[in-house]
């Protein structure tokens, strides 16, 4: 199990309905994209970080390990805005408004990433996917997603085992040996994926599979007070952005 999935299963909000958390987390993501970067996205970033480390109870180290990957993409996407290609003067140079635009993009994307991580750190996929059928998503699509989600962990475990076995046999001592081990790892994972898929199909057929995977979903109800508090927080962020936008700009 990946660390973010383990954190979602042990989260303080584990028993809350996914709709409650979606209103808050996805609402923060929408505000990060739609509000002005300064101060709107900055306020969203601080709010999402406070909720993650506070009420949601996500450990700071685990949050950083998950956040640094999308943050790297955010920084990489903002860097090209610093450069100007063509136009008057030298063919390649620094853009006049590059730092401002890069900072605005970085604020938007980093704040939006925290909003998505808030939902991911508090909502296991096993709680979310089965409920999508009630939301109108076709059952076969949900079944494929559930099987893919489960199979991904099995394949990752197989890859770890094969790598450990290769390392124990000195398969990573030289560059040539490492490349051979990598090729063997890919071939083994490919074969095991097809083998597990065939075994899964045989098992489902033996259990009378009729096109729908029936799973137990933890009972949960949408919390009116929690949803109302989330909407109030989103409204307050929007109003505070409108109030501070003039003086701060």
Q: Which percentage of the chain shows pLDDT scores above 90?
A: 1
Query: pTM here?
Result: 0.74
Determine the structural domain holding residue 57 and report its residue range.
3-123+219-248
- For the stretch 85-98, pLDDT in tens is 766 766 676 767 77
Axis-axis angle for helices 98-122, 60-78 (nearest 10): 150
- For the stretch 159-179, pLDDT in tens is 888 888 888 887 788 888 888
In a domain, 214, yes or no: no
Residues 88 and 185 in one domain: no
Residues 84 and 169 in one domain: no
* Res 87: pLDDT: 65
Asked whether the CA dihedral 179, 185, 191, 193 is positive or negative, the reply is negative
Name the domain count of the chain: 2
Q: What's the whole-number average pLDDT of the chain?
A: 82
CA distance 119 to 107: 19
* Res 208: pLDDT: 72
* Res 211: pLDDT: 64
| DSSP string computed for the chain | --HHHHHHHT-TTTTS-HHHHHHHHHHHHHHHHHS-IIIIIHHHHHHHHHHHHTTT---HHHHHHHHHHHHHHHHHHHGGGGEEESSSSSSEEE-TTHHHHHHHHHHHHHHHHHHHHHHHHH--HHHHGGGGTTTT--HHHHHHHHHHHHHHHHHHHHHHHHHHHHHHTTTTSSHHHHHHHHHHHHHHHHHHHHHHHHHHHHHHHHTT--S------------HHHHHHHHHHHHHHHHHHHHHHHHH-
* Res 248: pLDDT: 63
* Res 93: pLDDT: 67
- For the stretch 152-162, pLDDT in tens is 777 888 888 88
User: Residue 167, Cα to own-chain centre: how many angstroms?
Assistant: 31
In a domain, 213, yes or no: no
* Res 78: pLDDT: 84
Q: What is the mean pLDDT of residues 58-87?
A: 84
* Res 249: pLDDT: 61
Residues 107 and 58 in one domain: yes
* Res 210: pLDDT: 66
Q: Does residue 185 surpass a pLDDT of 80?
A: yes
Residues 182 and 244 in one domain: no
Q: Does residue 216 surpass a pLDDT of 70?
A: no
């Amino acid at each position: 199990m990946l660390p973010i999935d383990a954190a979602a299963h042990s989260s303080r909000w584990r028993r809350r309905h996914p709709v409650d958390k979606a209103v808050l987390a996805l609402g923060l993501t929408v505000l990060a994209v739609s509000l002005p970067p300064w101060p709107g996205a900055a306020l969203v970033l601080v709010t999402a970080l406070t909720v993650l480390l506070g009420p949601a109870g996500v450990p700071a180290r685990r949050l950083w390990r998950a956040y640094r990957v999308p943050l790297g993409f955010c920084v990489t996407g903002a860097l090209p805005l610093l450069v100007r290609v063509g136009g008057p003067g030298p063919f390649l140079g620094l853009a006049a408004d590059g730092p401002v635009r890069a900072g605005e993009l970085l604020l938007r994307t980093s704040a939006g990433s925290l909003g998505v991580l808030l939902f991911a750190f508090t909502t296991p996929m096993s709680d979310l996917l089965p409920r999508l059928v009630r939301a109108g998503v076709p059952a076969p699509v949900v079944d494929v997603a559930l099987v893919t989600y489960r199979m991904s962990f099995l394949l990752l475990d197989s890859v770890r085992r094969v790598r450990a076995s290769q390392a124990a046999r000195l398969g990573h001592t030289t560059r040539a040996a490492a490349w051979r081990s990598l090729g063997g790892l890919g071939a083994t994972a490919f074969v095991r994926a097809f083998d597990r898929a065939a075994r899964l199909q045989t098992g489902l057929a033996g259990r009378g599979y009729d096109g729908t995977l029936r799973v137990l979903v933890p009972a949960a109800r949408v919390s009116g007070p929690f949803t109302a508090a989330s909407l109030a927080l989103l409204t307050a962020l929007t109003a505070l952005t409108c109030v501070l936008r003039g003086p701060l700009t």
